[in-house]
Amino acid sequence: MGRLFGTDGVRGVAGDDLTARLAMDLAVAAAEMLHDNGTFHSARTAGRRPFAVVGRDPRASGEFLESAVVAGLAGAGVDVLRLGVIPTPAVAFLTANLGADLGVMLSASHNPAQDNGIKLFGRGGFKLPDAAEDEIEARLGRPGSAVTGAPGGGFGRVSDNGGALERYLAHLLGSLPAPGQSGGTGQSGGTGPAGGTGPLAGLRVVVDCAHGAASTVAPPLLRRAGADVIAIGAEPDGENINAGCGSTHMEALRAAVVEHGADAGIAHDGDADRCLAVDAGGQVIDGDQIMAVLALGLKARGRLAGDTIVATVMSNLGFRIAMQQAGVTVIETAVGDRYVLEAMREGSFNLGGEQSGHIIMLEHATTGDGILTALHLLAAMAREHTSLADLAGVMTRYPQVLVNVAGVDKTRVAASGEVAAQVAAVEAELNGSGRVLVRPSGTEPAVRVMVEAVDPEQARHLADRLVSAIRSAS
Mean pLDDT, range 84-92, rounded to an integer: 98
Quote the CA–CA distance of 395 and 333 in Å, as a whole number.
20
The C-alpha atoms of residue 398 and residue 453 are separated, in whole angstroms, by 6
Q: Are 438 and 449 in contact (CB under 8 A)?
A: yes
State mean pLDDT over 125-142.
89
CB of 214 closer than 8 Å to CB of 369: no
Amino acid sitting at position 166: E
- pLDDT tens readout for residues 217-272: 999 999 999 999 999 999 999 999 999 999 999 999 999 999 999 999 999 999 99
Average pLDDT over residues 44-71: 92
What are the pLDDT digits (tens) for 149-175?
454 578 999 999 778 999 999 999 999
Let me know: does 344 contact 329? Beta carbons within 8 Å: no
Give the gyration radius of the chain's Cα atoms.
23
Choosing from 61, 107, 109, 356, which is the catalytic residue?
109
pLDDT at 146 over 70: no
Locate the DSSP E strands across 68-210.
79-85, 102-106, 115-121, 158-160, 204-208
CB-CB contact of 115 with 13 (8 Å): yes
Question: What is the dihedral sign for C-alpha 312, 317, 319, 325?
Answer: positive
pTM score, two decimals? 0.89
Convert 246-267 to b/e letters by CB count within 10 Å (16 or more is b): bbbbbebbbebbeeeebbbbbb
Which pLDDT value is given to residue 428?
94
Residues 92/85, Cβ–Cβ less than 8 Å: no
For residues 280 and 265, what is the distance between their CA atoms, to the nearest angstrom? Answer: 8
Helix (H) / strand (E) containing 370 = helix 370-384
Instruction: Give the model's pLDDT for residue 179.
Output: 58
Which carries the bigger pLDDT value, residue 357 or residue 474? 357
Neighbours of 133 (CB within 10 A): 21
474 is catalytic: no
Domains, the chain, ranges and CATH?
Answer: 10-163 (3.40.120.10), 204-284 (3.40.120.10), 286-370+385-397 (3.40.120.10), 400-473 (3.30.310.50)
| Cα–Cα dist 156/112, whole Å | 33
Q: What are phi and psi of 368, to 5 degrees?
A: -60, 135
